[in-house]
Amino acid sequence: MRFKNIHFKTISSTQNWAKKHLGEIDPKTITCITADKQTKGRGRFARKWSSPLGGLYATFVFRLPTKTPHLTALGQIFSLTLANILITHKVKGCGVKWPNDIWIKGEKVAGILTELVFEKNTVAVLLGVGVNVNNKKVPKGATSLAKVSEKKWNLDILLRKLQKKWVQSLLLFQKKGFPPFQAPFEELMVLKGQEVTLFDGEKRHKGICHSLASDGSLIVIIDGEKQSFYSVDIQGLLKSPLCR
């Protein structure tokens, strides 16, 4: 699979740019839109994503057949791919917080925003990733790769590695869906076994974070019963010793 790279020095949001220009994006490539900084970076649940110089901000755009199974798990696979790269770079204490945040010892270092735009026979996938890399300042509760590893990172090398590994993950996903990623994701999953509060955008639910299903959904025990969740925000005791 070929990559087409589009880079901006400053942009409002790579995600918004991708949405606006979707019709012009070649369906046969993975287009990667990046920016040195964003003025209106956004995250899940319409939250702001702080995007100063020093971070990695990218939106990967590609198309898949509409009937592709487990589409909602693409963000999980992306975060697992990124977490594995960090682990190979000897970043210690790296884990994934379902669905697709990357945490280092209880602090968030990267977030992923997955948006699907359904077309006639295809679905356009917009995978936005924000990583605090060499950022001088990060929001409360977050950290940066430079801080935890005490070195400056090369953003281009990190991006190229992510692109290379993403192609491998995507090819495997196209062949086999989410199941090959289930065990590796669960292995890195923070908050497993812990009491958590889930927020679905409207309501809060309390339960115990149990496991990950083979379609990527989160299994939580609520009032003694297992329930599956596809799109919620989890809050737990992020500073607990169980949290990598």
Residues that bind ligand BTN (CB under 6 A): 13-15, 38, 41-44, 47, 49, 57-59, 101, 111-113, 128-130
Strand order in the sheet with 195-199: 225-229, 218-222, 204-212, 195-199, 233-236
Q: Which is nearer to ligand BTN, 78 or 181 (CB)?
A: 78
Smallest separation (angstroms) from ligand BTN to the CB of 223: 29
Q: Which residue blocks in 89-211 are alpha helix, DSSP H? A: 145-149, 155-176, 179-188
Smallest separation (angstroms) from ligand BTN to the CB of 200: 15
Q: Please, what is the angle between helix 155-176 and helix 179-188, to 10°?
A: 130
Q: Which is nearer to ligand BTN, 13 or 143 (CB)?
A: 13
- In the complex, which residue's CB is closest to ligand BTN? 111
Q: Which is nearer to ligand BTN, 15 or 135 (CB)?
A: 15
Q: Strands 107-118 and 122-131, how do they pair?
A: antiparallel
Q: Which residue blocks in 55-188 are alpha helix, DSSP H? A: 74-88, 145-149, 155-176, 179-188
Smallest separation (angstroms) from ligand BTN to the CB of 66: 24
Q: Which is nearer to ligand BTN, 134 or 177 (CB)?
A: 134
Smallest separation (angstroms) from ligand BTN to the CB of 121: 26
Q: Which is nearer to ligand BTN, 65 or 141 (CB)?
A: 141
Q: Tell me the two tokens of residue 66.
A: 């509409």
Q: Strands 101-104 and 94-97, how do they pair?
A: antiparallel
Amino acid at 221: I
Q: Which is nearer to ligand BTN, 125 or 129 (CB)?
A: 129
Q: Tell me the two tokens of residue 50.
A: 């702080």
Q: Which is nearer to ligand BTN, 12 or 214 (CB)?
A: 12
DSSP structure string for 110-166: EEEEEEEEE-SSEEEEEEEEEE-SS-S---TTB--HHHHHTS---HHHHHHHHHHHH
Q: Find how far residue 165's CA is from the centre of its chain.
A: 14
Smallest separation (angstroms) from ligand BTN to the CB of 142: 10
Q: Tell me the two tokens of residue 34.
A: 């990046």
Smallest separation (angstroms) from ligand BTN to the CB of 130: 3
Residue with tokens 């994503």: 49
Amino acid at 224: G
Smallest separation (angstroms) from ligand BTN to the CB of 55: 8
